[in-house]
Amino acid sequence: MLSQAASRLGFDVVILDPEENSPAGRVSRGQIVAAYDDPTALTVLGRVCDVVTFEFENVPAASAEQLAGGGALVAPGPTALSTAQDRVLEKTFLNAVGATTVDFVAVDTLEDLTAALETLGTPALLKTRRDGYDGKGQVWIKTAKQAAKAFAEIGGRPAILEARADFTRELSIIAARGHDGAVAVYPLGQNHHANGVLATTLAPAQVDAATTARAREIAEAILEGLDYVGVIGVELFDLGGGDLLVNEIAPRVHNTGHWTQDGCLCDQFEQHIRAIAGWPLGPTEAHAQVEMTNLLGDDVDQWPALAAEPNARLHLYGKAEARPGRKMAHVNRVSRLA
Amino acid sequence: MLSQAASRLGFDVVILDPEENSPAGRVSRGQIVAAYDDPTALTVLGRVCDVVTFEFENVPAASAEQLAGGGALVAPGPTALSTAQDRVLEKTFLNAVGATTVDFVAVDTLEDLTAALETLGTPALLKTRRDGYDGKGQVWIKTAKQAAKAFAEIGGRPAILEARADFTRELSIIAARGHDGAVAVYPLGQNHHANGVLATTLAPAQVDAATTARAREIAEAILEGLDYVGVIGVELFDLGGGDLLVNEIAPRVHNTGHWTQDGCLCDQFEQHIRAIAGWPLGPTEAHAQVEMTNLLGDDVDQWPALAAEPNARLHLYGKAEARPGRKMAHVNRVSRLA
């Protein structure tokens, strides 16, 4: 979707992806089939591209560093990537720029975990510091007795223990920042997760002015704190009354921003390309109410019924294999703004 | 733009185009670089594709026939293509299905032309029967004395002489028909040409109910008369009071339908892919008022200013060379529906 947006703005796109005929490669000018950390492939990529970006945050930060070190313009920069890849660094950064999170403690050993549980109390959420997304690599601890089992469950790896947030709902905000420091922020989305994976986003969310203002303030603080260039997704816990906690940041276009494709003149994908290419940022107002629903695994078999829904717009990713839980497509159901 | 729409619906696209790295090839799974009438290339194309379509009407009808004869599903079919390629066949067909045109006479020789000028009077428009678009291959004849010069100017080729239409404005209608005979029609656009080339389309056009009804009736008669599958563009002369003449038909997505990209949930490109792939047709209501402006040749150098306009959406085609008059891009300026 990023590649299509770039092509529509006249750019040629080259994809680096280890999978032959990847979903992005099949709609792009070229593809380099190689691992994300292949030094030769990275050198070639840096030479043929005016700007390099990424669409998921598990690209090794070292690859972004090699590209930037070799003189390529990488946006967002390697720092944004490495910050988002480590949950302890991420939350430390967020609190430093005034974007409050739940209380947390870094955990390297079982002893650390036991001490952390005393500090934060139970229930608390144990997550690996790195990797893991869509609910993978995390486990709830309900009593201190479960510490050893939980630590084993996440593989005894460096971890973070997070206090439970007492939130009423999950929101997210999609924002962009240009090379010139200009910031553009989309209306908030309200998210519903199922089994740790995003199921739906409803946008624009019904929010009061204080919540909107606070979300924008948070997004701006994060973008400036990271000297960020591109689109970012910020997941928020809504505590009510304009109080928001940041759950996590995604240094890329974000699943909770897919609604912008059918709700805004300039969607998050075009916005990201505009930002990294040094174009002026596009408008972010919504012209429609959108409910975005992910189609995971076999859900994609519903496509004939969805294609026949008069106010639905279907986006299929062209992935060959519908593995259970794999994001295969999404549908935006569009209605008039409330 | 067709290829991108198809990819978004999950299809893989292969382009046949004689130009290496063609605008469509650069956003598609694959490209066969060959002439449009290369028999081997056509055989390969027919074998790898579930359905074959075309995006401009100067593809040889014989190529469509070879593909269809070899068992490929070609949509629209060869008959639609050959009818639209010959102005005499086209106007004869149109009148046969009740889609009135200006009066016309087929012209093969200078003698024919002299006789035709007596029948139709002057001024009259002499056009080659085949080829020629965007004002090429046509010349106005103001007095009978200009006949020989005019016939020489169009190369003495088989031609058509058309009476002048006394119209107030040019409209167009974009419509689609599925394999099942279902028809979907977009709101009318009002077009402004400059130097024989489309400059702008304003849509939805301000039209009365009688004109809308007549335009829909015309579109349906044409689609059914050709047993057409896919999107068609129909250019109309508005005589006022619900009276419309058909100027010409384009058996493909049409420049005057580009406004649908930013004015409709399902644009003409997705609609065409839905139609030819046997999907249900998508919705055609407009959610915005759009003014589409073509950027020809050096006009494309205006892109930085256009990219900064808050309500403009820019579509750049990725063509390498901005030859004078070449369609390089278009911009949709979007506002609220009146």
Residue range A313-333, pLDDT digits in tens: 999 999 989 999 999 999 999
Mean pLDDT to the nearest integer, A241-247: 95
Of A220-234, B122-136, B140-154, B180-194, the one with minimum mean pLDDT is: B122-136
Q: Categorize the per-residue pLDDT at A294 as very low, low, confident or very high, splitting at 50, 70 and 90.
A: very high
B286-309 per-position pLDDT tens digit = 999 999 999 999 999 999 999 999
Contacts of A307 in chain B (CB under 8 A): 274, 279-280
Angle, helices A87-96 vs A209-225, to 10°: value is 110
Count the neighbouring beta carbons within 10 Å of the beta carbon of residue A288: 20
Contacts of B9 in chain A (CB under 8 A): 314, 316
For the cut 90, the answer to whether the pLDDT of residue A338 exceeds it is no
User: Which tokens hold the place of A63?
Assistant: 């690859």
Report pLDDT for A194: 93
Chain A: nearest CA to B308, how far in angstroms? Answer: 6
- Interchain CB distance below 8 Å, B10 and A318: yes
Report pLDDT for A131: 84
- Interchain CB distance below 8 Å, B26 and A9: no
Q: Categorize the per-residue pLDDT at B58 as very low, low, confident or very high, splitting at 50, 70 and 90.
A: confident
User: Which tokens hold the place of A239?
Assistant: 């505590």
- According to the CATH classification, is domain B2-74 in 3.40.50.20? yes
- Chain B positions contacting chain A at CB under 8 Å are 3-4, 7-12, 21, 26-29, 262, 265-266, 274, 279-280, 282-283, 287-288, 303-304, 307-308, 310-311, 313-318, 329, 334
- Which residue in the set A27, A283, A317 is minimally distant from B310, CB to CB? A283
Contacts of A318 in chain B (CB under 8 A): 7, 10-12
Contacts of A265 in chain B (CB under 8 A): 262, 311, 313, 334
Report pLDDT for B133: 64
Q: Categorize the per-residue pLDDT at A78 as very low, low, confident or very high, splitting at 50, 70 and 90.
A: very high
Q: Where are the domains of chain A?
A: 2-74, 103-163, 169-335
Best of B11, B14, B26 to disrupt the A interface (most A CBs within 10 Å) is B26
Best of A3, A4, A8, A279 to disrupt the B interface (most B CBs within 10 Å) is A8
Distance between CA B37 and CA A68 in Å, rounded?
A: 47
Mean pLDDT to the nearest integer, B200-222: 97
For the cut 90, the answer to whether the pLDDT of residue A34 exceeds it is yes
Q: DSSP letters of B21-79?
A: T-TTGGGSSEEEES-TT-HHHHHHHHHH-SSB--SSTTS-HHHHHHHHHTT--BSS-HH
Distance between CA A78 and CA A56 in Å, rounded?
A: 13
B118 CB-near residues (< 8 Å, 6+ apart): B144
B224-250 per-position pLDDT tens digit = 999 999 999 999 999 998 999 999 999
- Which residue in the set A9, A28, A308 is minimally distant from B314, CB to CB? A9
Chain A: nearest CA to B61, how far in angstroms? Answer: 28
Chain B: nearest CA to A73, how far in angstroms? Answer: 21
Report pLDDT for B131: 84
Q: Categorize the per-residue pLDDT at B268 as very low, low, confident or very high, splitting at 50, 70 and 90.
A: very high
pTM: 0.95
Residue of chain B whose Cα is closest to the Cα of A331: B9
Report pLDDT for A56: 86
Distance between CA A336 and CA B20 in Å, rounded?
A: 44
For the cut 70, the answer to whether the pLDDT of residue A133 exceeds it is no
- Chain A positions contacting chain B at CB under 8 Å are 3-4, 7-12, 21, 26-29, 262, 265-266, 274, 279-280, 282-283, 287-288, 303, 307-308, 310-311, 313-318, 329, 334
Contacts of A14 in chain B (CB under 8 A): none
Count the neighbouring beta carbons within 10 Å of the beta carbon of residue A10: 18
CB pairs under 8 A between A and B: 78
Q: Categorize the per-residue pLDDT at A210 as very low, low, confident or very high, splitting at 50, 70 and 90.
A: very high
CB A272 within 8 A of CB A184: no
Report pLDDT for A30: 94
Distance between CA A41 and CA A47 in Å, rounded?
A: 10
Mean pLDDT to the nearest integer, A297-323: 95
Report pLDDT for B85: 95
User: Which tokens hold the place of B291?
Assistant: 């003014």
Report pLDDT for B134: 64
Best of A2, A3, A9, A306 to disrupt the B interface (most B CBs within 10 Å) is A9
**DSSP-H helix ranges across B172-267:** 209-225, 260-263
- Interchain CB distance below 8 Å, A316 and B26: no
| Cβ burial B98-121 (10 Å sphere, 16+ → b, else e) | ebbbbbbbbbeeeebbeebbeebe
Phi, psi (deg, nearest 5) at residue B95: -65, -35
B109-156 per-position pLDDT tens digit = 999 999 999 999 999 999 999 987 666 789 999 999 999 999 999 999
| Cβ burial B147-162 (10 Å sphere, 16+ → b, else e) | beebbeebeeebbbbb
Contacts of B7 in chain A (CB under 8 A): 4, 26-27, 318
- Which residue in the set A27, A287, A316 is minimally distant from B27, CB to CB? A27
Report pLDDT for A49: 97
Residue A168 in 3-state DSSP? coil
Q: Pairing mode, if any, of strands A104-107 and A124-128?
A: unpaired
Of A27-31, A288-292, A299-303, B195-199, the one with minimum mean pLDDT is: B195-199
Q: What percent of chain A clears pLDDT 70, i.e. is strictly above it?
A: 99
Mean pLDDT to the nearest integer, A105-126: 97
Q: Categorize the per-residue pLDDT at A134 as very low, low, confident or very high, splitting at 50, 70 and 90.
A: low
Chain A: nearest CA to B280, how far in angstroms? Answer: 6
The verdict on ipTM greater than 0.90 is yes
Cα Dmax for chain B: 59
For the cut 90, the answer to whether the pLDDT of residue A136 exceeds it is no
User: CATH code for A103-163?
Assistant: 3.30.1490.20
Please give the mean pLDDT across all residues of chain B.
Answer: 96
CB B231 within 8 A of CB B6: no
Domain at B169-335, CATH class: alpha beta
User: Which tokens hold the place of B61?
Assistant: 């009808």
Mean pLDDT to the nearest integer, B311-317: 97
Residue A300 in 3-state DSSP? helix
Chain B: nearest CA to A129, how far in angstroms? Answer: 35
Residue of chain A whose Cα is closest to the Cα of B333: A265
Cis preceding linkage at B123, omega within 30: yes
Please give the mean pLDDT across all residues of chain A.
Answer: 96
- Which residue in the set B274, B303, B315 is minimally distant from A8, CB to CB? B315
Report pLDDT for B270: 98
